[in-house]
Amino acid sequence: MHRKDFIKSTSLGLVGALYVPEVLISEKVILGQNNKRYKINTKWSKADVARYPVNDCHEMVQDQKGRILLLTNETKNNVLIYNKHGKLLDTWGTEYPGAHGFTLFNENGTDTLFICDNNRHQVIKTTINGRVLLTLDYPKETGMYTKPDEYIPTETAIAANGDIYVADGYGKDFIIQYDLNGKYIRHFGGRGTEDKHLLNAHGVCIDTRNNKNPTLIVCSRQQNAFKRFTMEGVYLETISLPGAWVCRPVIKGEYLYAAVLQSNNNQWKQSGFVTILDANNKVVSNLAGTEPVYKGNVPDEMFQTDKVFQYPHDVCIDDEENMYVAQWNSGKTYPYKLEPVN
C-alpha cells in the first residue's frame, strides 16, 4: 500500500499535540513482557507546541554527543534536537515536505544524516546540522523507473564501507544499492510473488550482530514480515511476524526493535504496538501488544492489547537502553520515552 493510500485509509484526529492515551492517565502502566519491560513517559518532549510544531513524527536517531534527533514533515522545523531529558536544544530544516526516512552514519568519526523525502522523490545526505552533502535522485540507472514520481524512498541503511542501500518502500519496492559517492551498484527485491520479492519495503537496516557476516534486514510490511538478504542482495530467509505491520528494524546490542504501525486484525484503527526480537529473531516482548507465544518457529498472531499507541512509526534506543517512540498520523503527538524496568 502506498503513502497516499495510507492517508486515505485513516483520518487525522482532532486531538491536538498534547494528546495522551486515556489508559495512561488512569493507570501506572508497565509495558512489555519477559526481560523487556518499560515504564512510559508521554510528556517527555518539552518543546513549545506553538513555536516548534510537529506533523508526522517519522523517525529518531541518537548522535555521538548523546542527543536525540527527531525527523518530522513539518517544514517549520524538519529536525528537532533534544537532550535525553526532553529539553529542546536546536532545530533546523524547512525544505523537506515529505521527510520520512532518517538514518545516522558515523563517517570517519563524523556524524552524517540521510533523509528520504517522499515528496521530493530524493535521498539527501547532510551534516548533523543540515548542510547538504549529496543528493540521490530517482534511480533511472536501474531501468525500472521512467520518472521521479514512480520512486518514493522511505529508508536508507549505510554499510561500513559507505555503501548506501535505499528502500523504495512506497514506490516499486526495490532496494537500490549505491557506493559512498552515489554511484549505482545494483538493485534487488521489487514487488512479486517469490520469496525474494517485497511488499511495502518500508524499512531497511544492516544487521551486524554477526560481525563476520553482516546482512540486510528489510521490511515486507504488508506481508507482516522482515526479509533477510546478503549485502549483495541475495535472499536468505523470511522472519514472519503474523499480525504485525512492522516498520524499520533497529538493531541495538543483541536485540532487534521495531515499531508496529498497526495490527492486521484492526487496520486503520490506531492499533499499533512495539515488538522486540532476540538474537535468534524470536519475539520476546510486545509493548502494548500480546504476549509472544510460539508453537513452532512462527509466533501466534500478534496484535495491540492496550490503547497506548496510535500508529507507531519508529523507535530509537539510546546509550542507556531507553526507548523513544515516534508516531505517524497520531494527532501531532510528540515522541514518548520508555525506560527499562528491571
CATH number for domain 3-341, candidates 2.120.10.30, 2.60.200.20, 3.60.21.10, 3.40.50.720:
2.120.10.30
Q: How would you write the pLDDT of the chain (342 residues) with one tens digit per residue?
A: 555 554 444 433 333 345 667 666 555 789 999 999 999 999 999 999 999 999 999 999 999 999 999 999 999 999 999 999 999 999 999 999 999 999 999 999 999 999 999 999 999 999 999 999 999 999 999 999 999 999 999 999 999 999 999 999 999 999 999 999 999 999 999 999 999 999 999 999 999 999 899 999 999 999 999 999 999 999 999 999 999 999 999 999 999 999 999 999 999 999 999 999 999 999 999 999 999 999 999 999 999 999 999 999 999 999 999 999 999 999 999 999 999 998
Name the residue ranges covered by the structural domains of the chain: 3-341
Q: What is the pTM of this model?
A: 0.93
CA torsion, ordered 175, 289, 1, 257, to nearest 10 deg: -10
